[in-house]
Structure 1
Amino acid sequence: MKKMFTLSALALAASATMALAQNAFVTIGSGSTTGVYFPVATGMAKMMNDAGGLRANARSTGGSVFNMNGIKSGELDMAIVQNDVAYYAYKGTGIEAFKGKADAKVRSMAVLYPEVLHVVVRRDSGINTIADLKGKRVVTGDLGSGTEQTALQVLEAYGLEFKDLGQQLRISPTQGITLMQDKRADALFYTVGVGASAIAQIAQTTDVKLIPVSGNQAAALIKKYPFYVRYNIPARSYKGVGATVPGVAVQATLVTSSSLSEDTVYKTMKAIFSDEKALKAIHPALNTNYSDAKAVKGLPAPLHPGAVKFWKEQGQNVK
């Protein structure tokens, strides 16, 4: 009897181990808890857990550059990143952290929504255009971040460099908002989905306005860096924004590595993207902008085979 019990216990343990192996654990890199990446990644992880066959969690991180390095090292399985940053990582160019270190294993899964460049300035700063940032104290994002790269390229379109700023503050948006509130910074660059809680917070507590990126400068930017698109921030998106603000955006994209199995990626795609209504309900940025047709446009790297399988089943022309 004791021997039979032991054999039964071993069989149960083996069964449990097999089930655990089948339920792959997936860590999704996101961004700051005050941005849009984190709630979107959290919502996606919940959809994966609810669907069964996978276990997932969302991890708050330093953003796109950290996420691409995390995928390369295996620390992260998937991540939400700016499409331009994913492109730089894939090609080994653009950002110092990636130069000469191309990651040929980067794979796309889906484009999610536009990430709009917000140029937030104190209303008492005297700044009305990007050109007025000369000589000012400007938060350009964390060192090596996607936002810092966007700030560099937008300033370039207006004939400015970081050295033309009175002070370049290379800190996180959260830290930058504190400096703006304390009158220790005049302006802040932040590439994030419209409706981000960090921007809403500063608009509620400080008299600020958004500066447009438009005209010939926007056209020159898009011509040189084709991963940008024009995007108008709607009136009343934030307190004090009474009119539409012309701007530019990159695209938030879900990416992974070719090291992750086709089965895991396919199950992930099924769990997240089979129910478009449920996906859009995660966040207003998705509700306003996401569609299956847009999800396969502007990809920064080849699609993962698991994503190709899913999108073909959805009737999308992909390879």
Structure 2
Amino acid sequence: MKKSIKTVSTLLLLGTAAIAFAQGTTILTIGSGSTTGVYFPVATGMAKMINDAGAGLRANARSTGGSVFNMNALGTGELDIAIAQNDIAFYAYKGTGITAFEGKGNNKIRSMAVLYPEVLHVIARKDSNIKSIADLKGKKVVIGDLGSGTEQTARQVMEAYGLKLDDLGQTLRVSPAQGISLMQDKRADALFYTVGVGASAIAQIAQTVDVNVVPVSGNQASSLLKKYPFYVRFNIPAKSYKGVGATVPSVAVQAVMVTSTAVSEDSVYKAMKATFGNEADLKALHPSLGLNYTLDKAVKGLPTPLHPGAVKFFKEKGLNVK
């Protein structure tokens, strides 16, 4: 019995993708983000699609702190697949851009597919009189979980407006769920969140607090796009949230599904076939996918080389990839 327990413990330390049961089943752990964001329902839905396919794979979705955590966890084998911002995945691959990655590039990171645009939402309480990013100076601002992609986006966008985190009255590094409470209790004036349009966290704030969406536009947006080419302009449609009566200009990065060379070609191919091979079901997982995902877009803006399993899948679909 002791030997059996020790063996199981050793296998667990090797990462879930390495665990093979007698019946030949491979377990894949998919890293997502906060339960109130878009990553989590998308990852949960994909895990179910993989499990339902019955192709010798089992998958489970895990809520995490977000993109930066996910990229580090891919490196340690704690995660086998993850959803992340494409800029954060690139920085992790190159070992640059973010302190957590400096000098520690992970060239084993591989892309699977681009999912949808992740739009910067800057939500402010109307009673805070924040109409521009510049108005955040001296305010109490939620910038996302420590190590999240949102935190990095907040830094870069504020930089375009001549602000640093030190210029804020209070920098609040908390989860989106905690950010909601802080906004509701007037302990936060504004909140940054890089997420697909329609995220439940933003909708919940808008339902319970009078808010406005702060634009990112003009020369500041132009300078941001010039310095950080992962960003694109994106308009948050009118009526996306309660109280948002007009289109609001902002910027977006891309949500991308990534994995590692430690995961076999066969496993990634089967996971791709189970999820991206059922496009209608995939797009039904969340409006962000439904409105934006297409097969052609899935291979544009990739932050790292494609995994061989993804190459095999996309070639079968008639795309010229390598």
TM range (shorter): over 0.9
User: After alignment, is 171-180 or 301-310 more displaced?
Assistant: 171-180
Q: Tell me, what secondary structure is at the counterpart of 2:321?
A: coil
Q: Which amino acid aligns with 1:48?
A: I
Q: Aligned AA for 2:316?
A: E
Count residues with an aligned counterpart: 303
- In structure 1, runs of 5+ residues without a counterpart are 1-16
Identify the residue that residue 46 of structure 1 maps to in structure 2. Answer: 48
CA distances 1:48-96 after superposition (whole Å, capped 9, x unpaired): 1111121111111111111111111001110111111101110111111
Q: Does the 8 Å contact 1:96/1:144 carry over to 2? A: no
Structure 1, 162-171 or 263-272: larger mean CA deviation: 162-171
TM-superposed CA distance for 1:19, in Å, is 7.0
Report the Cα distance in structure 2 between the residues aligned to 1:279 and 1:216, rounded to whole angstroms. Answer: 37
Deviations 1:193-230 (A, max 9, x none): 11111111111011111001011111111111111111
Distance of 2:176 and 2:100 partners within structure 1: 20
Helix, strand or coil at the partner of 1:22: coil
CA offset at residue 33 of structure 1?
0.7
2:26 corresponding residue in structure 1: 24
Is 2:240 the counterpart of 1:253? no
Check the 8 A contact 2:144/2:150 in 1, yes or no.
yes
State the TM-score, normalizing by the size of structure 1.
0.93
Deviations 1:91-132 (A, max 9, x none): 111111111110010000000000101000000001100111
Identity over aligned pairs, percent: 75
Return the index of the structure with the highest Cα Rg: 1
1:175 and 2:193 equivalent? no
Root-mean-square deviation (CA), in Å? 1.2
2-structure distance, mates of 1:47, 1:73:
26
Q: Write the letter of the residue equivalent to 2:176.
A: P
Letter in 1 for 2:113: A
Shift of 1:20: 4.3
> What residue is the counterpart of 1:278 in the other structure?
281
Tell me the TM-score normalized by structure 2: 0.92
Aligned equivalent of 2:37 = 35
Deviation at 1:144, TM superposition (A): 2.5
Structure 1 runs (4+) greater than 2 angstroms displaced: 17-23
Q: What amino acid is aligned across from residue 274 of structure 1 in structure 2?
A: G
Aligned counterpart in structure 2 of residue 79 of structure 1, from 59, 82, 102: 82
1:1-319 correspondence to structure 2 within 5 Å = 20=22, 22-53=24-55, 54-319=57-322
Corresponding position of 1:11: none
Q: CA deviation at 1:174?
A: 1.5
Contact map agreement 2:69 2:147 (CA 8 A) in 1: no
Q: Give me the whole-angstrom Cα distance separating, in 2, the residues matched to 1:268 and 1:293.
A: 19
What is the one-letter code of the residue matched to 1:160? L
Is the CA contact 2:36–2:176 (under 8 Å) kept in the aligned structure 1? no
CA distance in 2 between partners of 1:73 and 1:115 (Å):
26
